Amino acid sequence: MSKKTALIYGVTGQDGSYLAELLLDKGYNVVGVKRRTSVINTSNVDHLFDRPNFKLVYGNMVDVGAMHNTLAEFKPDEVYNLAAQSHVRVSFDLPEETVDTVALGTQRLIEAMRLTSPKSRFYQASSSEMFGDNVEDVLKNESTRMSPASPYAAAKLFGHTIVNIYRSGYGIHASSGILFNHESPRRGETFVTRKVTRAVARIKLGRQKVLQLGNLEAFRDWGFAGDYVEAMWMMLQQDKADDYVVATGETHSVKEFVERAFDLAGLNWKNHVEHDERLLRPHEVPHLKGDPSKAQKVLGWKAKTTFDDLVKMMYLSDLEKEAK
């Protein structure tokens, strides 16, 4: 029996790198697609280059010809769309780029797959941000009304809807994971959780004095990215494609995350954190909490990593990196 081949768009990001590891360990041939840039940014997957079943190719979410060529060449069994301008705050500054890569990029990729490799199974990285400021249902599930509150969220909702249309209209095996916030030591340094743990490590080592943050009262459902990529893979192993909320089912505020990280360093956060209004979003989403019961029932998936373990993992990783 030949090995399955998986094509991962956005392989050098947090989720893409954990997913690549998972699939390689399961015996897949993994083809990772990354954007061509003038700066080398493959640190999340550098450790995979010595794996014989891992290959990195260039591509992006706007070059349709490259999408067709890549799909035709590798004939993947599974296609994972994880590529995006994924910073919510930045999407207010770069709305057109965000829509082009996140919304239209998804349209381009699934259409290219329909024409070139229609038997492939497709995974779409949808987002809890699509629920936006809808407070009708505190616990969000697959049926909760969506009310996006940022260009990023609106673009994700477009992609999510397009995937549903291709599933029902063309019979494509396309599933969407509505993932709530998921973090790790590989999270980009501009995201609030990684910004916090890196700053705390630097403050602990005497290399930084102050951490500037925006809204400390935003509540999020935070999990570990390494757990969440398992749910992505599980979705594409089902006979029937569908949408699934992937979450822990509990929330914590940004302030709680800050307190936990500073506690690990033996520091009082109030002595080091300053409020910076420039970091506030034009339209804030105060509370996001997911209901993962469908994923638990159908996929048999459940988050394994606790909030405290996640903060500790990220802080200790950043402390080790900064110490070097």
Closest among 118, 33, 149 to 84, alpha carbons compared: 33
pTM for this structure?
0.94
Residue that has been written with the tokens 């509505």 in this structure: 178
Active site residues: 127, 129, 152
Asked if 120 and 73 touch (Cβ cutoff 8 Å), the reply is no
pLDDT for position 283: 65
CB 164 within 8 A of CB 241: no
Residue 129 Cα distances to 58, 60, 72, 181, 233, angstroms: 28, 23, 33, 9, 22
Query: What is the pLDDT tens value at each position of the chain, 324 positions in all?
Result: 569 999 999 999 999 999 999 999 999 999 999 988 766 788 999 999 999 999 999 999 999 999 999 999 999 999 999 998 777 878 888 999 999 999 999 999 999 999 999 999 999 999 999 998 766 657 899 999 999 999 999 999 999 999 999 999 999 999 999 999 999 999 998 889 999 999 999 999 999 999 999 899 989 999 999 999 999 999 999 999 999 999 999 999 999 999 999 999 999 999 999 988 777 666 677 688 999 999 999 999 999 999 999 999 999 999 999 998
pLDDT at 280: 67
Neighbours of 239 (CB within 10 A): 5
Q: Delineate the domains of the chain, giving CATH numbers in brackets.
A: 5-182+221-246 (3.40.50.720), 188-220+251-286+305-323 (3.90.25.10)
